[in-house]
């Protein structure tokens, strides 16, 4: 019993049908369907249905979930006011986490766990609205009210910029929602499941997950990658940058993964959309140059590009402000979080691991005036 698995490396906590990640081959399957196919041909709304129901929707079912998302994307006044009041002084991920939590106040029965994916849908439909409103409030711009005749990704860009995106931009945005939607038992999903395992409500599970994704070792890397690419500045400086990081034994954002032993398959899709929108993307050129240098210096250590290396460069092409990249990752990953929460509740047992105690025991208490 006493072997410590730091970071829970290699620990299998449960069985799941939601996602298979093959780290050796660099492949991902969402409920049995190849992520490559879904990223090219599906939509985020369809993927939500798939992850929640373990099958693709019929045309009517797809229309129904699309309509449900459109009806539930507006914010309660109290949450809208919270965002307008706090956006100027609150970090985007802190404000998203607080807003998700605040949604519980507008649910008559927040602790009801009978239909967790229905409650999750109400949160997921609203997360892009929260993000766009927060950005515009930080800019001093009036909010753009969501429309009920646009798709999930399309409506996000509309409420962010105040104008409808092109079909290409909407498709690329929808692809980012699909690519970030689900990835097995990553840290933020595990956090959601631990919370759900105590039978806490869905708002608590999703709030736990948003808080967990924030860290730069996880979802926060989407932003630290851009800081890196802008620091490097030009492909010609990639070698010097990587050399310095490697010699200082510093981690390079956008690289490395607990599961992958090859390139993260999501990278190719992010790159594909960047090249379609802007073949001359400077961030893409720098990312590729850094990637070449890392593969030379750290390829034999099994350090490969992960999904965050290119995501930010695509968000940049879509006009998403850098401080909001991880909030979008959250809005997307809420699909996976909610699917795993539903699975957890279907066959629940409270998560309660052990620690190996290495401290002292049997110490005598001494009153403070005798110490």
Q: Enumerate the active-site residues.
A: 218, 257, 308
Comparing CB distances to ligand SDX, the nearer of 147 and 301 is 301
Quick check: 138 and 132 in contact, CB under 8 A? no
SS3 66: helix
Comparing CB distances to ligand SDX, the nearer of 129 and 332 is 332
C-alpha dihedral (14, 62, 80, 188), degrees to nearest 10: 20
Comparing CB distances to ligand SDX, the nearer of 155 and 307 is 307
Comparing CB distances to ligand SDX, the nearer of 253 and 312 is 253
The binding track of 220-249 with respect to ligand SDX, each residue x by CB under 6 A or -, is -x----------------------------
Q: Which structure tokens are listed for 300? A: 């034999």
Q: Closest approach of Cβ 195 to ligand SDX, in Å?
A: 17
Q: Which structure tokens are listed for 165? A: 């995106």
Give yes or no for residue 255 binding ligand SDX (CB under 6 A): yes
* From 101-109, 133-141, 144-152, 300-308, span contacting ligand SDX (CB under 6 A): 300-308
Give yes or no for residue 308 binding ligand SDX (CB under 6 A): yes
Q: Closest approach of Cβ 254 to ligand SDX, in Å?
A: 5
How far does CA 43 lie from the centroid of its chain? Answer: 17
Q: Which structure tokens are listed for 195? A: 């919370």
Contact with ligand SDX (CB under 6 A) among 236, 251, 296, 319 = 251
Give yes or no for residue 303 binding ligand SDX (CB under 6 A): yes
Q: Closest approach of Cβ 118 to ligand SDX, in Å?
A: 24
Q: Closest approach of Cβ 97 to ligand SDX, in Å?
A: 17
- In sequence order, which residues have a C-beta less than 8 Å from that of residue 118 and are 6 or more positions away? none
Interatomic CA distance for residues 371 and 366, integer angstroms: 6
Contact with ligand SDX (CB under 6 A) among 257, 269, 271, 291 = 257
Which of the residues 7 through 46 are near ligand SDX (CB under 6 A)? Answer: 7
* Buried-exposed string 153-173: b where 16+ CB fall within 10 A, e elsewhere: bbbbbbbbbeeebeeebbbbb
Residue nearest to ligand SDX (CB): 256
Q: Which structure tokens are listed for 79? A: 């949450």
Return the closest-CA partner of residue 308 out of 219, 214, 213.
219
Q: Which structure tokens are listed for 234? A: 């030009």
Place of tokens 């507008």: 106
Quick check: 253 and 311 in contact, CB under 8 A? no
Quick check: 172 and 270 in contact, CB under 8 A? no
Q: Closest approach of Cβ 183 to ligand SDX, in Å?
A: 3
Give yes or no for residue 252 binding ligand SDX (CB under 6 A): yes
Q: Closest approach of Cβ 141 to ligand SDX, in Å?
A: 31
SS3 273: helix
Binding site for ligand SDX (CB under 6 A): 7, 183, 186, 217-218, 221, 251-258, 298, 301, 303, 306-308
């Amino acid at each position: 019993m006493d072997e410590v698995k730091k970071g829970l490396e290699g620990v299998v906590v449960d069985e799941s049908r939601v996602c298979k990640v093959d780290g050796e081959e660099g492949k991902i399957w969402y409920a049995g369907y190849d992520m490559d196919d879904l990223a090219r041909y599906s939509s985020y709304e369809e993927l939500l249905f798939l992850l929640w129901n373990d099958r693709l929707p019929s045309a009517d079912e797809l229309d129904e979930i699309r309509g449900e998302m459109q009806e539930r994307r507006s914010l309660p006044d109290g949450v809208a006011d919270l965002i307008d009041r706090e956006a100027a002084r609150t970090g985007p991920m802190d404000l998203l986490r607080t807003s998700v939590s605040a949604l519980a106040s507008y649910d008559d029965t927040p602790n009801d766990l009978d239909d967790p994916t229905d409650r999750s849908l109400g949160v997921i439909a609203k997360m892009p609205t929260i993000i766009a409103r927060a950005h515009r409030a930080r800019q001093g711009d009036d909010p753009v009210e969501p429309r009920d005749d646009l798709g999930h990704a399309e409506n996000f860009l509309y409420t962010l910029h105040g104008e409808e995106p092109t079909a290409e931009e909407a498709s690329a945005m929808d692809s980012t929602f699909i690519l970030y939607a689900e990835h097995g038992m990553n840290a933020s999903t595990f956090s959601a499941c631990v919370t759900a395992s105590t039978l806490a409500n869905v708002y608590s599970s999703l709030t736990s997950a948003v808080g967990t994704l924030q860290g730069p070792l996880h979802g926060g890397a989407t932003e630290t990658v851009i800081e890196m690419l802008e620091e490097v500045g030009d492909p010609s400086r990639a070698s010097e940058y990587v050399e310095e990081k490697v010699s200082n034994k510093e981690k390079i954002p956008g690289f490395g993964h607990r599961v992958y032993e090859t390139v993260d398959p999501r990278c190719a899709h992010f790159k594909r959309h960047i090249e379609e929108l802007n073949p001359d993307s400077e961030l893409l050129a720098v990312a590729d140059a850094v990637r070449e240098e890392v593969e030379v210096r750290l390829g034999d250590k099994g350090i490969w590009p992960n999904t965050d290396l290119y995501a930010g460069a695509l968000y940049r092409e879509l006009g998403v402000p850098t401080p909001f990249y991880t909030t979008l990752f959250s809005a997307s990953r809420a699909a996976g979080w909610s699917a795993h929460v539903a699975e957890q509740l279907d066959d629940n047992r409270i998560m309660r691991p052990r620690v190996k105690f290495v401290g002292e025991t049997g110490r005598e208490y001494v009153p403070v005036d005798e110490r």
